[in-house]
Structure 1
Amino acid sequence: MCNRFKVALMISIRFNLEQVGGEAPSGFTGFVTRASFLQLVKEADPALSTLLHGGYDATKRMRSFYSLKPLEYSASKQKAWFEVNFKLSEVARSTLESLLKATKKQLMIGSAEFLIESLSVKELEPRTLSQTLEQELESADSLDLRFKTPTYFSTKSNFKVILPNLLLMFMNAENDMYIARYASIPRKHVFNLRRKLGFTGVQVKSEIVRDGKKLYPGFTGWVKVRWKELEQNERSTLCLLLAWGVLFNVGSGRTAGFGVLQVEPCKKAIYK
């Protein structure tokens, strides 16, 4: 069970693109996607770009509080898109205003040149997604959690955990929801929930991402999580935590596109 707050709107801005030159970037595109996004914002509002880059403005006591879904291509490889999901509507509104003021209609992501065809804006409602997940997963004994971009978890001791740690993932989402004034889930419920879940399959691989001279270790892959033993209220809590992760990524480095999560019912097919 969790307590609800009266919250502001959460918003997603999707950039719909067409590649008009250069070569498509390969590998993890989170850093170059974020750099291009911040450059667009900077043209109209340098201070906002600084906030979005740094994550926190101490003078205004304001968090940027957003997550990035890195560049993806359509099957034709000509159309592409990326998304920026905001947990605070004030920052989202300011960002959208700056993008509409910007005169640049093209941007570079890596060595690829893109035309910005349109911006799509939609409301994000974690509880709605949570209910959808719960319905889709109702008849499944196990869940598939897929970590689509490199993922890592930070700890208070500054160590980075580069394995799928469900407790860290859930605590991260629980803390996020509280800071965003969205919901308050008692920490003991998170611990109890984790104790009832078990892995029935794991396939992950380590990946090292470079940003200039900095190296970021992470992992991608999937885990099967058995949830058959959960009570109904525990399933609802789990689906809310997972829905938050799907919308806003999991782990650390989320503004750079780390930790993109996908959740679906467990399939009996052999994974490759």
Structure 2
Amino acid sequence: MKCPYCVSEIDDAALACPHCTRDLYLFKPLLERIGALEAEVAEQKLRLDALTPVTEAPGDAAAEAASGWWPWIAPLVLLLAAHFTITIWFDLPTLWLRVASLFIPLPFGYFALRGSNRRFGPVLAGGAAMALLAVLLMSAVVAMIDHTPVLPANWREWQEFLQYATSITMSFATGMIIGRQRGTLQRSELRQHAMLIKAAGMINSRTLNPERLHGQVEALQKLMAAAMAAGTTLASIATGLKDVAGG
């Protein structure tokens, strides 16, 4: 180590500098604490570097882009299959279709954002487009069988059309919120921990507990995400079952 007074190289176990003869007992605990914090921050940095995504080859990127539409295509196909099975094949009440439409899009919204770098807005717009297309295709199937217009004929029918599409979109959005919350916590956990360690070193306070503070931040994020997911779930149920309950 170096003497903090004369910057001479001295033994790590020395209690006084042999060159300038000054005592080191006030500086050694502080230097040891700073050294321990620097070592821990360096370890966290190595772990963060390991999380950095590897650059994909052009072929891998093309394959991912080609398969990246399944969170929107799969619920569309399942919604159409549920519509055909419930309303046409078994001729069951519309309530069963509305209930199925509340649950089918949710897991696909979850996987659309879980572990991906997609932005929330475009994914939600894709979910809304999927919902509108699903309702439009359902209407087209009914029109082919019953010989009725594909598009709604009056404002009330348009209202039902849009409310049904909104309920599907909100279900998809609920899954998105849950997926983004879990993915964000997983990716940012080490970054938050490293930042708290640096803050502890800068403040040099014995009262600051980085692990406790990190737990409080994570708990707050989970609470906010749960509240948002609950809100979109209630909105999905309200819009999906409004007309059925009212009728």
Give TM class, smaller chain.
Answer: under 0.3
Quick check: which has more Rg, 1 or 2? Answer: 2
**Under a length normalisation based on structure 2, what TM-score does the superposition of the two structures give?**
0.24
The structure carrying a bigger strand percent of its residues is 1
The structure carrying a bigger helix percent of its residues is 2
Higher relative contact order (CA 8 A, sep 6+): 1
